[in-house]
Amino acid sequence: MTYDEFFRTISGLQSKLRQLAVAFYRFQPGKPLIFEVSERFDNHFSVYDGNYPQVKKKIGSVTLGGSTFSLSSRLITNKKYNESSSNYNTRETTNFDRALSIMIDTFKPWSPMEFLDGRRYVVADVLTKWRDKFKHKAYATFSPDHQVIYEEVKALHAMGVQFKTPEFRAMVDALEMGNDNVERRNANMILFYMVVNAKGHIDYAWSNDIHQGNTPFDALDKGRKTHVTSDEFLPEYLKSEYAMLKMMNPSEEIDGVGKRISDFEYVIYKRVDDVRSI
């Protein structure tokens, strides 16, 4: 929006509100902003992100009631109100400079990730319609075998790609553990997965099928687990290994014993012959 277009848009606003809009516009040189004023009211205007004119992503609005500026933006958090309240994202002030400062701080363009997150339902709807029309192609495109996804992630990881999300980092960890598990399975070994809560209670389960695409703690998630209230109630064939791993730092491994995955997650390696009862 050029300055001439902007000024024509706000020309019908009350003088004080028009001055605020002009001051804010001048603090945003070169930024793609779209201003909108109601045809019925002269005390309110909204600002939209010009990067997404087709979907009108609002970045803020201002209403002048008497001498009070009421400013709303997704980046405003008013702790006086509950998050579900319509006033949670609103600030009020009678001071012109304070109102301008709030606008500069909170009337920010939407980041690409914010935009995508806010449009998830649109993307999901498009994918659903596409799947319905080309179902056989959709399954081939969007539903590959877990191992295929993991292999792609692992290949990228080997190239030096650093994944930002914990979900993708977990995929790499799971693949590495899965490949290790194939070797252990060939050596007649199985893995025990343990999760310890803040009270010291332990859930544990065994598995030998990570290489088929399961997550490391899939056995626990599916309910194939045993619950004990203390490590003293663990089976004898797990006690000593767990005691050793507790002294390790997260991600550290003891060869032939197991690995401490995190502060509360462990993997213990056992030979089948050493386990008397599973």
CATH of domain 146-274: 3.30.450
Looking up tokens 């002294």 gives: 247
pLDDT confidence of residue 70: 93
pLDDT confidence of residue 79: 83
pLDDT confidence of residue 144: 53
Q: Give the Å distances, CA to CA, from 149 to 105, 166, 169, 170, 216.
A: 41, 15, 13, 12, 16
With CA atoms as reference, report the closest residue to 77 among 65, 89, 93. Answer: 89
Token duo for residue 47:
């600002």
Distance of CA 39 to the CA centre of its chain: 40
Tell me if residue 205 falls in helix, strand or coil: strand
DSSP 262: S
State the Cα–Cα distance between residues 6 and 100, nearest whole angstrom.
Answer: 17
For the range 94-99, what are the long-range contacts, defined as Cβ-Cβ under 8 Å and sequence gap of 24 or more?
A: 94/67, 94/68, 94/69, 96/16, 96/19, 96/20, 96/69, 99/20, 99/62, 99/69, 99/71
| Residue ranges covered by each domain of the chain | 3-110, 115-143, 146-274
Please compute, for residue 247, the number of CA atoms within 13 A of its CA located in the half-sphere on the CB side.
Answer: 6
- Enter the pTM of the model: 0.41
Spell out, as residue ranges, where the chain has pLDDT lower than 50. Answer: 138, 209-216, 278
Q: What is the DSSP string of 57-121?
A: -EEEEEEEETTEEEEE-TT---TTS-TTSTTTTEEEES-HHHHHHHHHHH--PPPHHHHHHHTHH
Residues forming a β-bridge with 194: 204, 266
- Residue 161's CB is within 10 A of a number of other CB atoms, namely 12
Token duo for residue 46:
């909204």
- Cβ 243 vs Cβ 237: under 8 Å: no
- Cβ 196 vs Cβ 202: under 8 Å: yes
pLDDT confidence of residue 175: 60
With CA atoms as reference, report the closest residue to 91 among 14, 80, 83, 82. Answer: 80
pLDDT confidence of residue 212: 43
Distance of CA 172 to the CA centre of its chain: 18
